[in-house]
Amino acid sequence: MIESIIMATLGGLLIGAAASLLFFTHGKVAGISGIVGGLLQARTADTPWQMLFVTGLVAGGGMLVLVMPSMLVEPTSRSLGAVAAAGVLVGLGTRIGNGCTSGHGVCGLSRFSARSFIATLTFMATGVLTATIIQLAFGGEL
């Protein structure tokens, strides 16, 4: 229990440090949906740092698999269709909400953005409601 609290705290500190570093060095918000979306468009002056940022995320996950595989959650028992549908809904939500949990929840809240506060409350409430409905309607399996 204590180990997981320490690891979560260290992870949060690293996310905050990375978001702060990007903001103070480039004036950019570390919103993952915006960064990945930027890579799917024509090359711009932001493309190199966006590629490095995403590469760092993937490399960090890969290193965790090698160094501390016990820290990872077991793969989901959900069907591929359910996982794909969830991904599409999350993607739609980030487009409608003009950002994701990292952009609004980490960066926006730390800048005391009222818009980010409302967005964060909305996607957290929606997530809780959706998980509750799935649990009640399908017994957690879908």
pLDDT at 55 over 80: yes
Based on C-alpha coordinates, what's the Rg of the chain? 17
| Residues 28 and 85 placed together within one structural domain of the fold | no
Confidence class of residue 123 from pLDDT cuts 50, 70 and 90?
A: confident
pLDDT at 77 over 80: no
Sequence-distant (6+) residues with CB within 8 A of 44 are 38
Tell me which of 78 and 47 has the higher pLDDT.
Answer: 47
| Residues 95 and 138 placed together within one structural domain of the fold | yes
pLDDT at 140 over 70: no
Domain that holds residue 30: 1-72
pLDDT at 25 over 70: yes
pLDDT (mean) for 91-103: 83
Locate 75 and state its tokens: 């793969």
Q: Which residue, of 21, 37, 72, is where some domain finishes?
A: 72
| Residues 68 and 100 placed together within one structural domain of the fold | no
| Residues 67 and 6 placed together within one structural domain of the fold | yes
pLDDT at 39 over 80: yes
Q: How far apart, in whole angstroms, are the C-alpha atoms of residue 32 and residue 103?
A: 7
Percentage of the chain beyond pLDDT 70 is 98
pLDDT at 92 over 60: yes
Q: What values do phi and psi take at 60, rounded to 5?
A: -60, -45
Nearest to 104 by CA among 90, 120, 125: 120
Q: How far apart, in whole angstroms, are the C-alpha atoms of residue 71 and residue 50?
A: 27
Q: Which residue, of 12, 47, 72, is where some domain finishes?
A: 72
| Residues 103 and 88 placed together within one structural domain of the fold | yes
Q: Do residues 76 and 83 make contact, with C-beta atoms less than 8 angstroms apart?
A: yes
pLDDT (mean) for 117-139: 88
State the total domains in the chain.
2
